[in-house]
Amino acid sequence: MATLRYDKTGRLLFTKEMKKEYTLLMPMMLPIHFGFFEEIFKLHGYRAVILDTTGQDIIDEGLRSVHNDFCYPALLTTGQLLHALKSGEYDINKTALVMSQTGGGCRASNYIHIIRKALKNQNLEHVPVISFNLVGIEKNPGFKMTPKIVAQLTYAVVYGDLLMWLSNQTRPYEKNIGDTDKLLAHWMNAIKKEIRRSKSFLPKAANKKFIQIAKDFQAIDRTEEERIKVGVVGEIYIKYAALGNNNLEEFLHNEGVEVVMPPLLDFALYSLNNVIVDSRIYHKGYLRAAIVKWLFQFLYSLQDKVNTAITHHSDFRPMQSFERIKELVKGYVDTGNKMGEGWLLTAEMLELIDAGIYNIICTQPFGCLPNHIVGKGMIRRIKQNHPEANIVAIDFDPGATKINQENRIKLMLATARRNMQSHSAPTFALGGGK
Ligand code: SF4
């Protein structure tokens, strides 16, 4: 076992020595994106494992380890990490946990402390917990976010978004069942190989790949049948993670609808935009804001390239541009509202409506005040301005039954089917918004 070292505050550090022999466990959120992240971490010498475990045992572990005032994503991610640690699959003397820290004012910056507390209560305090953040909150000698890793993660997000976006638009329409998943697996492998081989993504090569991906998905044989489109919005973890939302995407797919998941890059742009807005509102942090502005422009240009590939080489609906999303939210919530998903959550509902997708599920985790305000709290106002919107807020908590959640969604889908049959909703504006 490596020597345990602590910083001045008594925090257990993840050392260089540990890097050589420790396994790093991380909670799963988005399978495509996180599959690429795992590969990037491996490339840089980390034995990373993204946990895709599910089941009641994880919820029970979370309930035992986390105070019941805490929000549901905190309970699930802590439960999943501790469950893995106690599963016997990993050497508890050579395993570390990784948790993200956003650096914002919400609890997402504090999950890490809950995990440490839970470890202490279970005599596992010798297990290091590494903060995964881009703002330098906690540092560890054995875990460094180098510019190269950040660049690679950025491209991984963009590739992940593109593959998620296009596979969701082909899967419900494919004539040969399984074509979409086969192509998705092909591209996931190709990009993972690229990560292993080139050690970095080059903008020119990536651009070519964006185009090829769009062309390949376009080539899938699809029916012209019209399907109900359902957008999923909400708190980031509950919206994306199958463990958090009881496999919502799979349920919707089995109901025969086209699922529209917002791109992860929007959340990255939103987080960067918050720094710029803060400097404007509070008249401070100008240098940081200038650097962030440059990064923002870089990400924004990547989103633009992906959208150009989609619009020029396929007939798929492109992603909404971030600037358009910001425009849409005016008059609803100020962009200074940035706790949790902040204004982005309201904007996600508006961008779906703007693209002609009126059926929306707003996922709400238990104990999440910010997202109840900008999510559930905004639905009435949105419906007043867009009577065609068919929005349902679904609560996710340890006691909510899957059947109850699905029944409420089925009611929303019944309305969606009626609307489609009677053509009471306006025709879908494919390609709108950009
Ligand atoms: S946004 Fe909600 S769910 Fe996410 S950390 Fe904050 S309180 Fe928890």
The residue extents of the domains of the chain are 16-144, 227-263+319-434
**Which residue's alpha carbon is at the smallest distance from atom 1 of ligand 1?**
340
CA atoms within 13 A on the CB side of 14: 25
What is the residue-level pLDDT of the chain in tens, covering all 434 positions?
Answer: 789 999 999 999 999 999 999 999 999 999 999 999 999 999 999 999 999 999 999 999 999 999 988 999 999 999 999 999 999 999 999 999 999 988 778 888 889 999 999 999 999 999 999 999 887 789 999 999 998 899 899 999 999 999 999 999 999 999 999 999 999 999 999 999 988 886 566 777 899 999 999 999 999 999 999 999 999 999 999 999 999 999 999 999 999 999 999 999 999 999 999 999 999 999 988 898 999 999 999 999 999 999 999 999 999 999 999 999 999 999 999 999 999 899 999 999 999 999 999 999 999 999 998 899 999 999 999 999 999 999 999 999 998 889 999 999 999 999 999 999 886 545 444 333 33
Element (H, E) at 395: strand 390-396
Answer whether 16-144 and 227-263+319-434 agree in fold.
yes
The per-residue b/e assignment along 364-380, b for 16 or more CB within 10 angstroms, e otherwise, is bbbbbebbbbbbbbbbe
Q: For residues 394 and 412, is the Cβ–Cβ distance under 8 A?
A: no
Q: Is 161 helix (H, G, I), strand (E, B) or coil?
A: helix
Determine the distance separating the centroid of ligand 1 and the alpha carbon of 368, expressed in angstroms. Answer: 5
Q: How far is CA 270 from CA 223, 261, 334, 337, 347, in A?
A: 36, 16, 13, 11, 11
Q: Are strands 95-100 and 129-132 parallel, antiparallel or unpaired?
A: parallel
Question: Which atom belonging to ligand 1 lies closest to the Cα atom of 236?
Answer: 4
Contacts of 265 (CB under 8 A, 6+ apart): 157, 158, 161, 299, 302, 303, 319
Given the candidates 1.20.120, 3.40.50, 3.30.70, 2.40.128, the CATH classification of the domain at 16-144 is 3.40.50
The CATH code for residues 227-263+319-434 is 3.40.50
- The number of the ligand 1 atom at minimal distance from the alpha carbon of 70 is 8
| pTM given for the model | 0.94
CA of 107 to the centre of ligand 1 (A): 6
